[in-house]
Amino acid sequence: MAKLKTKFNCTECGYDSPKWYGKCPGCQAWNSMVEETDSVIKTQGMNSSLFQSKEKPLSIINIESSKEGRVLTGIGELNRVLGGGIVPGSLILVGGDPGIGKSTLLLQASHSLSISGLRVLYISGEESVQQTKLRADRLGALSPELYVLCETNMESIEEAIESVKPDFLVIDSIQTVYLPEVTSAPGSVAQVRECTARFMRVSKGQGIATVLVGHVTKEGAIAGPRMLEHMVDCVLYFEGERHHTYRLLRAVKNRFGSTNEIGIFEMGESGLNEVENPSELFLSERPLGVAGSSVVASMEGTRPVLVELQALITTTNFPAPRRMCTGIDHHRMNLIIAVLEKRMGLSLQNQDAYLNVAGGVKLDEPAVDLAIAVSIASSLRDLSTKPFDVFFGEVGLTGEVRGVSRAEQRVKEAEKLGFKRVILPEKSLKGWRHPKGIELIGVTTVAQALKAALD
């Protein structure tokens, strides 16, 4: 017999409580507690062998390592973010805003895998098979090994998996799938948690690489309990503005690779196209000879990327000046401003400061500090930097410029794009062969960097 139990779950973090709260005690979110009814099965008198595992503990030295390699998806940028391809039996969660291109990317990846000889099952809970076929016609994703199903019942999905026996499975989306024995509505915390646990058992037990598409909240986080991200092997976020053509694919969790890599795509009429040289993309609309603009050589995982930093310094009309930035940590910007005021004598206490990373990229490494300082000083003095200069280096609180890693790759990327000078930490000049086609200027303080860039 099943006993009905009523409780309240938080839609943001999964916190459950026997009574309702206006503010979740777990994540402090307001109005996120929803009532749900779960059926609790009494196990007394039942065969306990149903709940026993047949696995026995093994010594780690006696466990054979898996020899099965990764499977390439046919999309280079997706392979880069995943760490070199899809691991068989892995469970991947993909999140992003509505209309950003999640279904398009996965349908293209499904087509590439199917034409390579793998059997793919694409299950859509939001679109009919006719609507999926229309998208496939537009993308040219037509293959006899690509199977499409419109279903939301978990039991029917498991029957389809058993019938098709796919190598790659896509669930679009996890919020539409439901278990009949769980009495709450599809998309609720209980349904998402239980269905994801079922897919995890199917993925690990049968060695099927599974991709779950997840909805996101208005804050940009994947909807559902927080434990959803802990259950899966890889969490990918598809970022970008719906009204712009460029998209960024970023990994925030990856058990089989790095989380520092990004994939860059351009949305076209025939689907998503890979952007193989992102530096040219981010610098394509850069104005020359404008105060406040500088180019920084940043590392995104193993890939050097040249990005334009823009700063605007204006006299404030308020008692406290405004500090706003996009793509840069707000606290890092305040730190650089404090160093420029104290060590360089720049008067910024009565100036509003606005900083922007062109192209919508988020830069979070310390190597962008020097470019931030140069951009702010350039806008304040109304002096433009030289159009073919590149900057990178970490700035300390005493005004020194510290060395950063992978200077050689950054300089080679700048040389490849036609830049003439690189202003970098003097310590980063040691230990590698300098190219002859570009001038390298080593600096030890911010004062030296500003003199070289603006004088």
Known binding positions for ATP: 96-103
Segment holding 209, helix H or strand E: strand 209-214
d(CA 22, CA 31): 5
Residue with tokens 């040691």: 430
86, 70 contact by CB (below 8 A): yes
Residue 328's Cα: distance from chain center in Å? 16
Neighbours of 241 (CB within 10 A): 11
| Phi-psi region at 382: left, alpha or beta (left = phi > 0; alpha = psi -120 to 50) | left
Name the residue among 285, 286, 449, 272 with its Cα closest to residue 371.
Answer: 449
Strand 293-300 relative to strand 303-315, pairing: antiparallel
Neighbours of 45 (CB within 10 A): 6
Using a 10 angstrom Cβ sphere, with 0-12 exposed, 13-18 middle and 19 or more buried, the burial of residue 357 is buried
> H helices within 165-240, ranges in order?
189-206, 227-231
Name the residue among 246, 311, 308 with its Cα closest to residue 283.
Answer: 308
Distances, alpha carbon 255 to alpha carbons 74, 75, 169, 230, in Å: 21, 20, 19, 11
Name the residue among 180, 182, 116 with its Cα closest to residue 154.
Answer: 180
Name the residue among 233, 240, 193, 222 with its Cα closest to residue 91.
Answer: 233
Backbone angles phi and psi of 438, in degrees to 5: -145, 145
d(CA 175, CA 192): 6
Long-range contacts of 75-78 (CB under 8 A, 24+ apart): 75/105, 75/108, 75/109, 75/112, 75/274, 76/274, 76/276, 77/249, 77/263, 77/264, 77/265, 77/274, 77/275, 78/105, 78/109, 78/249, 78/263
The contacts of residue 89 (CB under 8 Å, 6+ apart) are 203, 204, 206, 207, 208, 209
The two three-digit tokens of residue 291, written as one number = 């105060």
Residue positions forming the annotated binding site: 96-103
